[in-house]
Amino acid sequence: MVSWLSAEGLSVRRGGRTLMGPVSFDLTGDGIAVVMGPNGAGKTTLLRALHGLERRRGDVRWGDAGLAAGRNQAFVFQSPVLMRRTVLDCIAFPLRLDGVARAEARARAEVQATRVGLRVDLGGAVEDISGGEKQKMAMARALIRDPGIMFLDEPCANLDGRSTCEIEDILTQIRDSGTRIMMSTHDIGQARRLAGEVLFLHQGKLEEQGIGDTFFDAPKSKAATAYLRGDILL
Amino acid sequence: MSDFFGGIAQAARLILTLDPDLAEITLLSLRVSLMATLIASLIGLPLGAWLAINRFPARRTVIALLNGLMGLPPVVVGLFVYVLLSRSGPLGVLGLLFTPTAMVIAQVIIITPIIASIAHQAIRELWADYHDLLISLGATRRQRLITLIVDGQRPMLTASLAGFGRGIGEVGAIMIVGGNIDHATRVLTTAISLETGKGDFEMALALGLILITLAISVNLVLHTLNRTERGSRW
Amino acid sequence: MNLLKSIVMGAATALFAVAAHAEDMKMSVTTSFANSGLADVLLPEIKADTGINVQLLIVGTGQALKLGAAGDVDAVLVHSRPAEEKWLTAGNGTHRREIMYNDFIFVGPSDDPAKAGAAEKATGALQAIEAAKAPFVSRGDDSGTHKMEKRLWTAAGIAPEGDWYRAVGQGMGAALNTASGMNAYIMSDRASWLKFANKGDLKLVFEGDPILFNQYAYMPVNPEKHPHVKHDLAEKLEAWLVSDKAKALINGYTLNGETLFTFNAKTE
């Protein structure tokens, strides 16, 4: 299969210290690519480096040329970035940067709000809505440019079960609509439910790459085995 | 206590009879301090924003200096401006001493550091919040600045109002550079000082109450305007 | 951004509304003169007769002379002869013209514990206060009034110091406020005292010694030193100040039924 994203010797250094890498991998499947690992393994750094938020070393190649373009990528942060605006205007913001007229941007924002199932007053201030709704707002904002690939960093880290469930439904729906998804999580259950491909990071290094069920049922590396068994927390 | 209630009664009488002298000094107070706030905002707000999002070697020094200047004693500023504008001083030919313009200049010097400092603080927080999102969405430098200014409107308004509050209540500097000339440079604070000197505490208190009312009214009006504007923005 | 726009427009309108008057002139005067209320009578008449809008800078004698020396005012009206002569010698003014005088008085607690009121001369009153170590508030601001007070102490043969002698370093009104709060003795010009609203337990205890007379002099700023000063207006004002009309207004000015000033300008 042709890989849609491959990295070769990718690493991030800061202040003379290596935060992550070097890692090398190829992603080929159609499913959601899940980056797993305990806290501090470098999951966030890997996603940010791929998206261009961190200065990186090594090669990153996009199999699909369209994915390389910045505006074709979207990033959903672990804690949603709340702008000092209404919910609707937060979602419409990327389109406003693209020069789309306010009325049209808002109309398209409403479509995305419906798509992610936001159940709030779209004209209210975004600070006032619940954590789960904030994360949905962030996903609607990420989706509004119709990205080719969407990165999500621990999207359900601070959410309750119901919100987590809703976000996972939205993620599968986005995947089915053809957008590539690469996300990190340290929730093994969530990884099991969503993963097509798995990248398992431990202490900044890629310990194992596998396909969903195969990885969970029979991890090859010692670190992944221990982690799945619940022996590694850090 | 008799002075206190007498002051309230006197204030009511002056306002209800639309005392022309009172109207004149109140309007001059407003004129001088609003003009000073406007000029100080035009300098201080962009300076504060610029300091918040740019990194350069002397940045910390500049910020420390700015915070230090917030505590400038008005009397010293007044003396400084007096020496500059005096006929025997370097800018004497302009003939600005003992004019409202001289008072505006002194107040600009006093309140610009306050406005810049508060704006810097506010924009720095906003920039920390927005940084990743704006980079992720590929916002240009110009778009980033505009976004921060638009979303930072309320804290920046607060900064300007803090400057205005300091200006309209200030007496040390404008007494020296304005001269407290009746019908020319007399404002509320210098009139209060004069009446206190005459031992007329009732009148001084009445003027004081009017000054406080004025300061609060300006704050309320601007906050209300800002709130009504918010709904239709973006 | 409509908000910002309206603020800019409003402020710009406000600034340009401050138009300059053609016939303005500036004169620095002492606080005691301004507090007397005489200025409120004279200024409108001056404007009506000469068209000059006299803008008063009300400061202490020291600062009044300093403003004149710097060329920041067109004339000064003060009351401290030695300082005035020093100022003229330095070339700051064209000449000195005596206009009028008022007098100083001693004010103190209503029961007059030092019996200063029983003295015959002003120096005797001061000696009584010093002997009783009764609290005395001094301006201590190098103003004309303060200089007069120091001359009187010297004449009384006393170098005032100690807990009872409080130099506040402020204007007449503030000093009176302090004396009222402490129930202390103080020397004041009569006008400031009569106008003073916060008397508390204080009352006038001594007056009338000719040594307490306080001569006001008018001095135009030297146009050779400061070419920009409005010397023609200063001369016009002087002519009015020594006129019969001014004489009538000054002598006729009363406060609580008391005459405050005596016109004594000599015609040249």
The nearest CA of chain A is from the CA of B152 a distance in Å of 8
Interchain proximity B99–C2, CB inside 8 Å: no
Residue numbers in chain C where pLDDT is lower than 70: 1-22, 268
Calpha distance C264→C268 (Å, rounded): 12
Mean pLDDT (whole number) for B203-223: 88
- The whole-number pLDDT of residue C22 equals 53
- The whole-number pLDDT of residue B232 equals 40
The nearest CA of chain C is from the CA of B58 a distance in Å of 31
CATH classification at residue C59: 3.40.190.10
| Rg of the Cα atoms in chain C | 21
| Rg of the Cα atoms in chain A | 18
Is residue C1 domain-resident? no
Answer whether the bond into residue A22 is a cis peptide, omega within 30°: yes
Residue A40: CB atoms within 10 A of its CB come to 15
C125 and C192 fall within a common domain: yes
CATH classification at residue B84: 1.10.3720.10
CA C159 to chain centre: 25
Please list every residue in chain B whose beta carbon sits closer than 8 Å to the beta carbon of residue A51. Answer: 136
Q: Is A15 on the interface with B (CB under 8 A)?
A: no
Is residue B233 domain-resident? no
C248 and C165 fall within a common domain: no
Residue A101 has pLDDT above 50, yes or no: yes
The nearest CA of chain A is from the CA of B61 a distance in Å of 23
Mean pLDDT (whole number) for B49-75: 88
For residue C3, give the nearest of B93, A186, A193, B224 by alpha carbon. Answer: B224
C206 forms bridges with which residues in the sheet?
A: C106
According to DSSP H, which parts of C51-186 are helical?
Answer: 61-69, 81-89, 122-132, 144-155, 172-182
Closest residue in B to A102 (Cα) is B234
Q: Is B133 on the interface with A (CB under 8 A)?
A: yes
Is residue B126 domain-resident? yes
Interchain proximity A53–B130, CB inside 8 Å: no
The nearest CA of chain C is from the CA of B61 a distance in Å of 31
Residue B60 has pLDDT above 80, yes or no: yes
C134 and C168 fall within a common domain: yes
Max intra-chain CA distance, chain C: 75
- Please give the ipTM for the structure prediction: 0.89
Q: Is A69 on the interface with B (CB under 8 A)?
A: no
Residue A186: CB atoms within 10 A of its CB come to 18
Is residue B27 domain-resident? yes
- The class of domain A5-80+148-229 in CATH terms is alpha beta
Number of domain units in chain C: 2
The nearest CA of chain B is from the CA of A76 a distance in Å of 9
Is residue C13 domain-resident? no
Interchain proximity B198–C197, CB inside 8 Å: yes
- The whole-number pLDDT of residue C1 equals 44
Please list every residue in chain B whose beta carbon sits closer than 8 Å to the beta carbon of residue C176. Answer: 199
Please list every residue in chain C whose beta carbon sits closer than 8 Å to the beta carbon of residue B101. Answer: 15, 18
Q: For residue B161, what are the domain limits? A: 2-227
C95 and C219 fall within a common domain: yes
Q: Which of B136, B138, B151 sits opposite A85 (nearest CB)?
A: B151
C173 and C226 fall within a common domain: no
Please list every residue in chain B whose beta carbon sits closer than 8 Å to the beta carbon of residue C10. Answer: 34
Is residue B15 domain-resident? yes
pLDDT digits (tens, 9 = 90+) for B89-139: 888 888 898 999 999 999 999 999 999 999 999 999 999 999 999 999 989
Interchain proximity A83–B133, CB inside 8 Å: yes
- β strands within chain A, DSSP E: 5-14, 17-27, 32-36, 57-62, 73-76, 149-153, 180-185, 195-202, 205-211
- The whole-number pLDDT of residue C238 equals 95
Interchain proximity B38–C174, CB inside 8 Å: no
C117 and C129 fall within a common domain: yes
Is residue B68 domain-resident? yes
Closest residue in C to B200 (Cα) is C197
Is residue B232 domain-resident? no
For residue C80, give the nearest of C143, C152, C171 by alpha carbon. Answer: C143
Q: Are A86 and A124 in contact (CB under 8 A)?
A: yes
For residue B230, give the nearest of B154, B165, B174 by alpha carbon. Answer: B154
Please list every residue in chain A whose beta carbon sits closer than 8 Å to the beta carbon of residue B138. Answer: 70-71, 97
Q: Does chain C touch chain A (at least 3 C-beta pairs within 8 Å)? A: no
Q: For residue C191, what are the domain limits? A: 104-212
Residue A182 has pLDDT above 50, yes or no: yes
Q: Which of residues 138-197 of B touch A (CB under 8 A)?
A: 138-139, 143, 151-152, 154
Residue B144 has pLDDT above 60, yes or no: yes
The secondary element (H helix, E strand) that includes residue C96 is none
C198 and C74 fall within a common domain: no
Q: Which of B31, B38, B92 sits opposite C7 (nearest CB)?
A: B38
Mean pLDDT (whole number) for B35-57: 91
- The whole-number pLDDT of residue A61 equals 86
A210 forms bridges with which residues in the sheet?
A: A198
Higher pLDDT, A16 or A73: A73
Interchain proximity B229–C197, CB inside 8 Å: no
Calpha distance A34→A199 (Å, rounded): 6
Question: What share of residues in chain A are helix, strand, coil (percent, to 5)?
Answer: 40, 25, 30
| Mean pLDDT over the full length of chain A | 88
- The whole-number pLDDT of residue A213 equals 82
Number of domain units in chain B: 1
pLDDT digits (tens, 9 = 90+) for C91-112: 999 999 999 999 999 999 999 9
Dihedral (C-alpha) A167, A168, A169, A175: value to the nearest 10 degrees? 110
Mean pLDDT (whole number) for B148-157: 88
Interchain proximity B136–A53, CB inside 8 Å: yes
Interchain proximity B197–C226, CB inside 8 Å: no
C134 and C182 fall within a common domain: yes
pLDDT tier for residue B1 given thresholds of 50, 70 and 90? low
- The whole-number pLDDT of residue C183 equals 92
